[in-house]
Amino acid sequence: MTYLDLIQEMRDLGFPCAYHHFTTSPEPPYTVVLYAYSSDVQADNQNYAEVGNYQLELYHTIKHPPSEKLIENRLRELRLPYQKIETYIESEGLYQIIYQVRLLGGN
């Protein structure tokens, strides 16, 4: 799976989704996918397998468990283990739910 596939999966769920940011933010809820860092498998001074760590971010004006559950169920269907972090961005008036996922192949 690539980050482009992940973006399409979010769109298929009904969430507007873009890589990193929107030029004009849509009405919440919406999602973005962005590259965080690599965890490539290395040995003998070489990178043998690319492993990209991505963040799938959900933005919503309210704490909305049904939206989170929809995304979590899709991640499970795709067999993408995730870590979940939540914060409130006071200046934007938005809840931010971050799902950290690893994509084999790097991107």
Residue 31 lies in a domain: yes
What pLDDT score was predicted for residue 97? Answer: 98
Residue 48 lies in a domain: yes
Alpha helices in the chain (DSSP H): 3-12, 65-77
For residues 5-31, average pLDDT = 97
User: Model confidence at 92, in pLDDT bands (50, 70, 90)?
Assistant: very high
Residue 27 lies in a domain: yes
Residue 102 lies in a domain: no
Burial of 73 (0-12, 13-18, 19+ CB in 10 A): exposed
What pLDDT score was predicted for residue 38? Answer: 86
Please give the residue range of the domain that contains residue 36.
3-92
Residue 105 lies in a domain: no
Residue 97 lies in a domain: no
Q: Quick check: 101 pLDDT over 90?
A: yes
Q: Quick check: 107 pLDDT over 70?
A: no
User: Model confidence at 106, in pLDDT bands (50, 70, 90)?
Assistant: low
Angle at 23 between CA 54 and CA 87, to 5 degrees: 50
Q: Strand order of the sheet with strand 30-38?
A: 17-19, 30-38, 51-60, 94-104, 82-89
Distance separating alpha carbons of residues 76 and 50, to the nearest angstrom: 22
94 or 45, higher pLDDT: 94
Q: 21-74: per-residue pLDDT in tens? A: 999 989 999 999 999 998 777 888 888 888 889 999 999 999 999 999 999 999
Residue 34 lies in a domain: yes
- For the chain, the domain total comes to 1
Q: Are 100 and 53 in contact (CB under 8 A)?
A: yes
What pLDDT score was predicted for residue 50? Answer: 84
